């Protein structure tokens, strides 16, 4: 299947070639003809599947220019808004569409001025869009296409009341497109109340973690996590490592500790200003900071290719977050590694993760690392005890390789 067979016009196809895409991804093959045909569409697809171009390309084709704001894309985070606007920028090289991207945390006046000069498409985070509307800076009464991107995330982040207010500012007759990584009951309710007889398209995540990502568990006590991370970073070739911590505070602290030990790193989390986040992301993308320390909320939408390693410095709260986190590596056909530090306090969630994966994760000790005595949980026993106490077992530790636990564990995981 080629892009031209999907019904895209030559001026859009030029943008597609300029972006270097040769073949459409499955979500694009399914969604583009439906959107071009004017249908409401629900797309169940994660970041990494090509979902952005799946709605941007047909939206550009259907959106007239110089007639006021005719297309509105609402998305939960600034990073996603910027990523979407980059796809619009590249795809609209020959169409002449003008667009604005609006989000909070930065000055509002440049956005007001941009809107005043006239735009065809607005990419927005909900709160700032409402703010701009209340100041009379944007007229949404002629919107013909609405995209709700990452709808599940918007619900999780409590944006639905804002989104609902935005819906009330739009004409009733319009095309609605909704994309979401999951179809939770909350998202289903939004679909039922907002979309008209939608077509549903669905693709599985771009890579199945168990197939493409080497996963390893390193039991370690809380206080040795930073030392272990530094040692691992020193020992192997880490082009770009994304490290997850549980809280903003821990992200900042870890980043500082790494810097002190000579590891260039940056931190990105919701407590940082937009400019700080962008600087961190740019440094990571450019390779100036090979280590990026992040929290779950901001990391989910980060679209950086060539992440060689994901490190769960702190285990995530849920199995779903684990799958999202490790899915940041091994993108675009590359291979990748996911390393998880497991302290005695974190064994509970491991059970859920392994249940979701349908297999166990290989467990290793780092050879030669000076593990503190009597600190490490023995996952083999602790987990087998069904989280009875969640307490640390007793393992003398250093230099031992425990290899895989369980039957099929590692074999199918590395390819």
Is residue 96 within a helix (H) or strand (E), and if so which, with residue range?
none
The reply on whether position 52 binds ligand AMP by CB under 6 A is yes
Sole window of 16-24, 68-76, 130-138, 342-350 interacting with ligand AMP (rule: CB under 6 A):
16-24
Range 398-411 burial, b when 16+ CB lie within 10 A, else e? eeeeeebbeeebbe
Q: Which is nearer to ligand AMP, 231 or 303 (CB)?
A: 303
The reply on whether position 48 binds ligand AMP by CB under 6 A is yes
Q: Which residues on neighbouring strands pair with residue 391, listed in sequence order?
A: none
Q: Which residues on neighbouring strands pair with residue 217, listed in sequence order?
A: 340, 363
Contact 53, 28 (CB under 8 A): yes
Describe the strand order of the beta sheet including 309-312 as a list of residue ranges: 265-268, 291-294, 241-244, 309-312, 336-342, 213-219, 362-363
Nearest residue to 88 via CA among 53, 61, 120:
53
Could you say which of 231, 252, 303, 380 contacts ligand AMP (CB under 6 A)?
Answer: 303
Could you say which of 8, 21, 123, 266 contacts ligand AMP (CB under 6 A)?
Answer: 21
Sole window of 22-30, 113-121, 344-352, 385-393 interacting with ligand AMP (rule: CB under 6 A):
22-30
Sole window of 41-49, 249-257, 351-359, 360-368 interacting with ligand AMP (rule: CB under 6 A):
41-49
Q: How many residues bind ligand AMP (CB under 6 A)?
A: 13
The reply on whether position 153 binds ligand AMP by CB under 6 A is no
The reply on whether position 24 binds ligand AMP by CB under 6 A is yes
Q: Which is nearer to ligand AMP, 54 or 263 (CB)?
A: 54
Q: Which is nearer to ligand AMP, 51 or 404 (CB)?
A: 51
Sole window of 23-31, 63-71, 167-175, 319-327 interacting with ligand AMP (rule: CB under 6 A):
23-31
The reply on whether position 25 binds ligand AMP by CB under 6 A is yes
Which residues between 53 and 92 bind ligand AMP (CB under 6 A)?
Answer: 53
- Least Å from the CB of residue 101 to ligand AMP: 16
Nearest residue to 128 via CA among 146, 143, 115:
115
Q: Which is nearer to ligand AMP, 258 or 310 (CB)?
A: 310
- Least Å from the CB of residue 171 to ligand AMP: 27
Pairing of strands 121-124, 213-219: unpaired
Sole window of 32-40, 49-57, 282-290, 340-348 interacting with ligand AMP (rule: CB under 6 A):
49-57
Could you say which of 30, 49, 245, 329 contacts ligand AMP (CB under 6 A)?
Answer: 49
Hey, is 208 helix, strand or coil?
Answer: coil
DSSP 350-405: HHHHHHHHTSPPEE---TT--PPTT----HHHHHHTTTSS--------TT------
Q: Which is nearer to ligand AMP, 52 or 215 (CB)?
A: 52
Helices 78-91 and 10-19: crossing angle in degrees, nearest 10, is 120
Q: Which is nearer to ligand AMP, 209 or 409 (CB)?
A: 209
- Least Å from the CB of residue 32 to ligand AMP: 10
The number of beta carbons lying within 10 Å of the beta carbon of residue 217 is 24
The reply on whether position 175 binds ligand AMP by CB under 6 A is no
What is the distance, to the nearest Å, from the Cα of residue 341 to the centroid of all Cα atoms in its chain? 21
Q: Which is nearer to ligand AMP, 53 or 310 (CB)?
A: 53
The reply on whether position 244 binds ligand AMP by CB under 6 A is no
The reply on whether position 290 binds ligand AMP by CB under 6 A is no
Distance between CA atoms of 310 and 294, rounded to whole angstroms? Answer: 11
Range 244-271 burial, b when 16+ CB lie within 10 A, else e? bbbebebbbebbebbeeeebebbbbbee
Distance between CA atoms of 283 and 299, rounded to whole angstroms? Answer: 15
Q: Which is nearer to ligand AMP, 328 or 410 (CB)?
A: 328
Hey, is 302 helix, strand or coil?
Answer: coil
- Least Å from the CB of residue 294 to ligand AMP: 17
Nearest residue to 364 via CA among 413, 316, 325, 319:
413
Pairing of strands 213-219, 362-363: parallel
Whole-number Cα distances in Å, 183 to 16, 192, 327: 29, 12, 19
- Least Å from the CB of residue 372 to ligand AMP: 41
Q: Which is nearer to ligand AMP, 149 or 321 (CB)?
A: 149
The reply on whether position 47 binds ligand AMP by CB under 6 A is yes
Q: Which is nearer to ligand AMP, 209 or 397 (CB)?
A: 209
Q: Interface with ligand AMP by CB under 6 A: which residues?
A: 21, 23-25, 28, 47-53, 303
């Amino acid at each position: 299947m080629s892009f031209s067979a999907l019904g895209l016009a030559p001026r859009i196809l030029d943008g597609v070639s300029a972006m270097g895409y040769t073949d459409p991804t499955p979500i694009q093959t399914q969604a583009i003809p439906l959107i071009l045909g004017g249908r409401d569409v629900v797309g169940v697809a994660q970041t990494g599947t090509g979902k952005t171009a799946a709605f941007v390309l047909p939206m550009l084709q259907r959106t007239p220019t110089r007639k006021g704001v005719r297309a509105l894309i609402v998305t939960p985070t600034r990073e996603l808004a910027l990523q979407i606007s980059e796809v619009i920028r590249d795809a609209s090289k020959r169409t002449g569409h003008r667009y604005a991207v609006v989000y909070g945390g930065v000055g509002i006046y440049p956005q007001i001025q941009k809107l005043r000069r006239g735009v065809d498409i607005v990419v927005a985070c909900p709160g700032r869009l409402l703010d701009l509307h209340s100041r009379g800076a944007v007229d949404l009464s002629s919107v013909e296409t609405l995209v709700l991107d990452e709808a599940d995330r918007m619900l999780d982040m409590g944006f639905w009341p804002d989104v609902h207010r935005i819906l009330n500012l739009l004409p009733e007759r319009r095309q609605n497109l909704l994309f979401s990584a999951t179809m939770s009951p909350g998202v289903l309710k939004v679909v039922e109340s907002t979309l008209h007889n939608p077509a549903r398209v669905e693709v599985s995540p771009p890579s199945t973690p168990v197939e493409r990502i080497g996963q390893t568990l390193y039991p370690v006590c809380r206080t040795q996590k930073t030392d272990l991370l530094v040692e691992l970073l020193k020992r192997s070739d880490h082009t770009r490592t994304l490290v997850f911590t549980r809280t903003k505070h821990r992200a900042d602290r870890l980043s500082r500790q790494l810097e002190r030990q000579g590891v260039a790193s940056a931190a990105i989390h919701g407590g940082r200003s937009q400019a700080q986040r962008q600087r961190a992301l740019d440094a990571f993308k450019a390779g100036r900071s090979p280590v990026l320390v992040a929290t779950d909320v901001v990391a989910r939408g980060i679209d950086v290719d060539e992440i060689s390693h994901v490190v769960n410095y702190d285990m995530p709260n849920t199995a779903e977050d684990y799958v999202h986190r490790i899915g940041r590596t091994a993108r675009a056909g590359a291979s990748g590694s996911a390393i998880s530090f497991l302290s005695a306090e974190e064994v509970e969630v491991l059970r859920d993760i392994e249940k979701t994966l349908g297999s166990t994760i290989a467990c290793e000790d780092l050879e030669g690392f000076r593990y503190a005595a009597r600190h490490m949980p023995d996952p083999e026993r602790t987990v087998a005890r069904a989280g009875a106490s969640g307490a640390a077992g007793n393992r003398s530790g250093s230099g031992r390789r425990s290899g895989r636990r369980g039957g099929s564990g590692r074999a199918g995981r590395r390819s």
